[in-house]
Amino acid sequence: MKKIIALLGLAVLIGMATYSFAQENADTVDSLNNEQLGTDMATSPNSTLQKGDIPPQFTLQTLDEKQITLSELKGKKVILNFWATWCPPCKAEMPHMQKFHEQYGDEVEIVAVNLTSKDSGIDKIEQFVRDYELTFSIPLDETGDVGDAYEAITIPTSYIIGTDGRIQHKIVGPMDEAMMEQLISSTP
C-alpha cells in the first residue's frame, strides 16, 4: 500500500512538472504565433529582466579555455542559452542550435552557457559537446552566479539580445531552427 501511495505521489509530481513545462512553452509559442515578438517578452511576473534591459554582464571561461565577455559581443545579435547535459529538452534543442549556427554563425553569436555548478562534471560536458558535434561557444558557469543573474531556473532558458546589447526576448523551453529564425528576424 505504501508503494502505491508513493507511486501515485510521484505520478502527481511528474504530471505537475510536465504541465508546467508545457504551459511555459505554450505561452512562448502563443506569443510567437500572435506575432507579439516585438512587443512583449515571455517572462514570469517575478522576473527582474525585461525587454529593453541591458543584460547582466559576465566573463566566463569556455570549454576550450578561452574567455568570453558578453559586452564584447555588442553589435551582433546573440542567442544566450542556459543548459545542462542531464536536461532532456536541452538535448532536443542542441541539434537545432548547431544547424542554426552553421547557417547563421556569421550574423548571430550563439553563447550556450553550461550551468556547470548544477551539471555532472567537465568530462560529461566535453562528451556531450563531442556527441552533438557542437561548434559554438560553450562558457562554463562554475559558480552558478550567471545562471542566477539570468533567472535560469527552468532550462533551457534563452535570451535573444539585439545588436544594441539589449534584451529582446526570453524563451523558457527548447527552441527549434524556425523559432530561432523568427526570433532573430524580429530582433533589431
* Residue-wise pLDDT tens digits, 80-90: 999 999 999 99
**Residue 66: is its pLDDT beyond 70?**
yes
More confident residue, 45 or 185: 185
Backbone angles phi, psi at 110, to 5 degrees: -95, 125
Q: What is the pLDDT of residues 98-107, one digit of tens each?
A: 999 999 999 9
Give SS3 for 64: coil
Q: Tell me how many helices (H) and strands (E) the chain has.
A: 5, 6
Q: Which residues contact residue 43 at a Cβ distance below 8 angstroms, ignoring those fewer than 6 apart?
A: 49, 50, 170
Look at residue 48 in the predicted model and tell me its pLDDT: 87
**Residue 172: is its pLDDT beyond 70?**
yes
**Residue 147: is its pLDDT beyond 70?**
yes
CA 43, distance to chain mean position in Å, is 13
Partners of 160 in the β-ladder: 79, 169
CATH fold label, 2-185: Glutaredoxin (3.40.30)
Confidence of residue 64 (pLDDT cuts 50, 70, 90): very high
Mean pLDDT, residues 64-82 taken together: 97
Look at residue 45 in the predicted model and tell me its pLDDT: 52
Mean pLDDT, residues 109-115 taken together: 98
C-alpha cell at 31: 506569443
Query: Which run of H or E residues covers position 53?
Result: none
Q: What is the pLDDT of residues 173-188, one digit of tens each?
A: 999 999 999 999 999 9
DSSP single-letter state for residue 140: B
Mean pLDDT, residues 150-165 taken together: 97
Average pLDDT, the chain: 83
Assess whether the previous peptide bond of 156 is cis (omega < 30° from 0). Answer: yes
